[in-house]
Chain A
Amino acid sequence: MATPAAPTGGARNGAGPEWGGFEENIQGGGSAVIDMENMDDTSGSSFEDMGELHQRLREEEVDADAAAAEEEDGEFLGMKGFKGQLSRQVADQMWQAGKRQASRAFSLYANIDILRPYFDVEPAQVRSRLLESMIPIKMVNFPQKIAGELYGPLMLVFTLVAILLHGMKTSDTIIREGTLMGTAIGTCFGYWLGVSSFIYFLAYLCNAQITMLQMLALLGYGLFGHCIVLFITYNIHLHALFYLFWLLVGGLSTLRMVAVLVSRTVGPTQRLLLCGTLATLHMLFLLYLHFAYHKVVEGILDTLEGPNIPPMQRVPRDIPAVLPAARLPTTVLNATAKAVAVTLQSH
């Protein structure tokens, strides 16, 4: 932890007008105290320290004002009691204002602390949970335990985004990069959050014992199977292999989620509704990711050799040179046609 060094001469020079009131208060029995213990900041960053410092300065001013007001109050007691009361009220209001600002700033930082318990994991725990997400447990009479953490699911969603990008690039799906990242992030996060909310809503209707956090964690870890399948099949382009993995790996992770939900739901209709919906959505999502973002292998050759004309884009066809003698005019014609098309396209 770094504490910035300060020249003591500067401190002494700076101990002029601001500390004047402080010295007076010492004589009067001193009530304004500098809280030195909070100075040892772990952050060491000047920006945040500035903010905190201004906060502390304002509070100290309020303190000093309150102390000064009390001192004045003490002097004028008896003779002008009501004036003392007024100044005490003003000091009180200033103290409240300062306190309100401090609590607002604190709640801004404390928002992160709301999520802190969900990130309290060890690497060994994450590893074991990843492996367990592929193993369905057939205990349906007791509610199965779901780990309520968000680190694993969040990292899996980001990994899925990275794998999708990798897949999109090697398969020449969309040349224009502007929508690549947005599509991937939107798809993955949309699936994770959207389907979790939908299944949570269905669970509420079906009286299942599951909280939103648990649903998010369950579905997040269920994406581990998707990550594995997509990672393998984006590199080995065989449709039969994909279908095999879709059934095996996708099926295993879906079965695990279904088993957990069954153990937490009562009644056959409810179980069927809930688990059927989840299984359908989960398996269909893997199918969608593979086929919507995957094209045939020529994409790899494109990245090796340089891109050809991108698919699905209207390009002016080259006017064929019918006669060898006419080659020069055709190139001129082609160039003009292309230029015209470009200007038309850009409008």
Chain B
Amino acid sequence: MFAGLSDISISQDIPVEGEITIPMRSRIREFDSSTLNESVQNTIMRDLKAVGKKFMHVLYPRKSNTLLRDWDLWGPLILCVTLALMLQRGSVDSEKDGGPQFAEVFVIVWFGAVTITLNSKLLGGNISFFQSLCVLGYCILPLTVAMLVCRLVLLAEPGPINFMVRLFVVIVMFAWSIVASTAFLADSQPPNRKALAVYPVFLFYFVISWMILTFTPQ
């Protein structure tokens, strides 16, 4: 077995020892072999668990890298679709049915997130495009919860108290969203420009909160 090795001549000054570890390369190999053959249930459960873990990180925001490191866009998609579905009027009495509203919410969320990402990149942030989309999408979670609460509150009789309760809930969730997204995004900006990067995030969540607050089913 070792007979063939005698033909190899290696000059002494070329180092042939050491490790060639290229992390991404081995990851390709892993993905190809291991995740393609597993059952669909395994894949879905693994993705759902990752999404759920990130939801927890958003609900209890601390400075951590999890959202940035393993970003994914499943969570934002689920949240955006849920929000858009809940914001539909869905009744026959209005002239336009729920169609345009779904598209409107979708477009606002995704193009708003893209705009904020471009802005933060142009200001000199070192965050990647999809990481930023991921963070902004996940931080819509408090506002989706606010939408659920508002819908429940709207089942009661309308009146000023109704409006005050909804206003309070939406304001609290709006503040929570901004705090959560700032906790993740602030580190990627140069320290003196954090305010410049946070302001469009404020506008973005303000528009979404306003859509939630003024939603009235007919």
Contact = CB atoms under 8 A, between A and B. Distances in A.
B71 interface: yes
A112 B130 contact: no
Contacts of B159: 304-305
A7 interface: yes
Contacts, number: 147
Contacts of A49: 24
B78 interface: no
Given A10-B26, A43-B128, A304-B160, A178 B100 contact: yes
Contacts of B218: 307
A328 interface: no
B interface, over-half SS: helix
A280 interface: no
A26 B216 CA distance: 73
Interface residues of A, number: 65
A176 B23 contact: no
B20 interface: yes
B8 interface: yes
Interface stretch (A154-162, A199-207, A317-325): A154-162
Interface string A1-30: 011111110111111000100000011001
Contacts of B199: 155
B20 A5 contact: no
B195 interface: yes
B22 A112 contact: no
B210 A122 contact: no
A177 B211 contact: yes
Contact of B203 (A48, A50, A162, A179): A162
A169 B214 contact: yes
B9 A4 contact: no
A166 B210 contact: yes
A112 B115 CA distance: 12
A14 B25 contact: yes
Contacts of B130: 45, 47-48
Contacts of A11: 19-22, 25-26
Interface of B: 8-10, 14, 16, 19-30, 65, 68-69, 71, 87, 92-96, 99-101, 104, 108, 118-119, 121-124, 126, 128-131, 158-160, 163, 192-193, 195-196, 199-200, 203, 206-207, 210-211, 214, 216, 218
Interface of A: 2-8, 10-15, 19, 26-27, 30, 34, 39, 42-50, 53, 112, 115-116, 118-123, 126, 151, 154-155, 158-159, 161-162, 165-166, 169, 175-179, 181-182, 303-307, 313, 342, 345-346
20 contacts: A2-B69, A4-B24, A6-B26, A6-B27, A8-B19, A11-B20, A15-B20, A45-B128, A45-B129, A48-B130, A126-B196, A151-B119, A151-B123, A154-B119, A175-B94, A177-B87, A178-B101, A304-B163, A306-B158, A345-B95
Given A43-B131, A307-B218, 9 more contacts: A4-B23, A19-B20, A44-B69, A45-B129, A161-B207, A169-B210, A178-B100, A181-B108, A342-B92
